[in-house]
Amino acid sequence: MFEAFFEGLFLVFQWPAIGFLMLGVVTGIWIGAIPGLGGIIGLVLLLPFTYGMEPVSAFAMLLGMYAVTSTSDTIASIMLGVPGTAASQATILDGYPLAQKGQAARALGAAFTVSAFGGVFGAFILAVSLPLILPIILSFNSPELFMLGVLGLAMVGSLSGGSILKGLAVACLGILLSTIGFAEADAIPRYDFDLDYLMDNLPMIPVVLGLFAIPEVMELAIRNTSISKIPADQTQGGGMLEGIRDAFRNWWLAIRCAAFGTYVGILPGLGAAIVDWIAYGHVVQSSKDKSQFGKGDIRGVIAPEAANNATKGGALIPTVAFGIPGSLATAILLGALLIQGLKPGPEMLTTHLNVTFSMVWSIIIANIVVAILLMILSRQIAKVSFVPGHLLVPGVILFVFMGAWLGGASLGDWITAFVMGIVGFLMKRSGWPRPPLILALILGSIMENSLQISTQAHQGIGWLTRPIVLIIVAIIGITLLFSSKSVFRPKKKKKTIKEEKKTTGKGIERSPLISLPFSIVLFLLFVWAFFEAQQWPAPVRQFPVAAVVPGACLTLLAIIYDAKGVLQSVQNHGKLRTAWDHISETLLLGRAMIFFGYLLAMIIMMLVIGQKLVIPAFIVIYLIRWGKYSWRIAIGYAIGGWALLVVFYDQILHLFWYQSLLATWLPSILPEWIPRWLII
């Protein structure tokens, strides 16, 4: 075994394998950093190039790209507050606040350090565990997978916001949204409103980008500020070296979370989606001082980043050893194995053990190389947090809407991103946490399938008595118990408006005047969904009802708390209208509506002139009218955006573009020497 271990190392360092590995790393940095792309699209793009390649070179390129996307996706999470992939959701809770404090370099330095460690740790565990891991995998069947999903939702629901009631209610909303489309048990559409777009479930990428990216980008636009709320010359500390030192000071935390990431990553379908929340929940509950979590605690970056990189090694274990792909990405890697004439199973652990270990070394080397490269670049990346927000907004909007378009190349993807942007804005302004919705949307179909199989196999709820299920139930109970302690603590005296402004620096960020209407609408949505489900057969309505009943109860309690907050606000201001005017002015609701008007106009004009023209037009109009920049800057920026659309999205990704009205008649009048793909 040791001979094969070192033989795999020599195979990776041979030419051309090492060259393909570096190519994969560079590609992975780019793909992971762009919201909406991620490792799956990267694998799809690179897979055709592996035909005819040697196995070691092929997997060096694929794994070099795939392994580093969960490191480079940290850039979007910290700099923009947008989870680059599902595995970096928890990073935004403390990473983005650190960037807002002018300490982006510190957060990036810590994240890259522990990401490299987590990736290397996971790969070594993969090497050691290959002959021993079968009993662990076989012990997790449908009941355990369902309860593990519940654990993930309990973690994120109770730890991602100031209110455990709202967190768990939003998790129920996410479960409800995951049931849109055809049911797992029968070919009966649910909550589709007779729209073909919703027949195949609500796409995740437009929802994520709309929910997280648009509200944060709009914040830069309406407040005319940079990401950092502190000028560059006034920041104290927060450098990359300090972040690296933070990682070493918290070495024991990094080891624990990397172990979580490796072994949870082994579980098919669930690992990458929940492991960062398990790690984040662990660091919050195990820390004596919890006061800074969610406000910029570096431990809130270290824990999830150490865990999510370690999942890559863990996820390969069932794929290589048993031919069980735990996700779409590992399914593509399984296809690459078959393309190379390799058969997952005993052969990969005996005859081709050196190839298996070359995969391990590819992951190790890729993680070390990407950490070094990104640390070299981190100082320049961190400078983005001090760039005027108006210069960032058009570029981010381009990536957001084109990332949403990658979900299904449908007009519905843009509409979904726009609608979820409004929802995300209201949730942010009213104190409703957004991460639980995304995690529940990811896990919903997996959990429903597991619940159906568990119920049928055990003829009811007998599966709840399985030993591992009981252990997970106990962990869920402990999680909720510790998280709910704050609910029962004596409440501090309510602050006056002046005190709240002084505390936040920008007024009330979580207004009950916005939260109460949102709570009422959410409650009515749960009630409607319950009665709508009654027309379906029992197996079809079982899972939606299991979400909407507790969701309605939790939301009803939230309405009571919000009503108390509204009464307090009215008492502070004398009357309701005065309180609303104050909130509207403080939170710049009028400018927010104008910004959404810009986005809506862009979507409508896209139907007329298409994406390749409407996005550059948006850039020009935004920079001139909103940002007050010169025509020269606006047109130069727009030309750069147009070139990106044409070269990257059209010629490299070969996207299917929306057939606008312009596309129906322009080709007939264009001169033959002008390529159509430059415009439509």
The residue-averaged pLDDT of 306-327 equals 70
The residue-averaged pLDDT of 202-223 equals 83
- Cβ partners under 8 Å of residue 332, min gap 6: 40, 43, 44, 47
Binned at pLDDT 50, 70 and 90, residue 503 comes out as: very low
The residue-averaged pLDDT of 558-582 equals 83
- The whole-angstrom separation of Cα 527 and Cα 28 is 44
- Cβ partners under 8 Å of residue 496, min gap 6: 572
Read off the DSSP letter of residue 47: G
According to the model, what pLDDT value does residue 483 have? 67
The residue-averaged pLDDT of 491-496 equals 47
Read off the tokens for 620: 């020009």
Mean pLDDT, the chain, rounded, equals 79
According to the model, what pLDDT value does residue 132 have? 64
Report in angstroms the alpha-carbon separations of 136 from 119, 191, 264, 269, 317: 21, 38, 11, 15, 11
Count of other CB atoms within 10 angstroms of residue 192: 17
Q: Which of 326, 385, 352 is nearest to 99 (CA)?
A: 385
- The whole-angstrom separation of Cα 279 and Cα 664 is 52
Percent share of the chain, pLDDT over 90: 12
Buried b or exposed e, range 634-663, using 16+ CB within 10 angstroms:
beebbeebbebbbeebbeeeebebbebebb
Q: What global pTM score does this model have?
A: 0.77
End-to-end CA distance of the chain: 56
Q: Which of 93-102, 171-180, 298-307, 325-334 has the lowest mean pLDDT?
A: 325-334
Our CA dihedral for 479, 484, 485, 489, rounded to 10 degrees, sits at 170
pLDDT tens by residue, 409-446 = 888 899 999 999 999 899 888 888 887 887 788 778 87
Q: Domain ranges in the chain?
A: 2-226+238-484+508-556, 589-678
Q: Which of 200-209, 218-227, 480-489, 533-542 has the lowest mean pLDDT?
A: 480-489
Look at residue 129 and tell me whether its pLDDT is greater than 70.
no
pLDDT tens by residue, 273-296 = 677 777 887 788 777 877 777 788
According to the model, what pLDDT value does residue 504 have? 33
The residue-averaged pLDDT of 513-533 equals 92
Count of other CB atoms within 10 angstroms of residue 204: 16
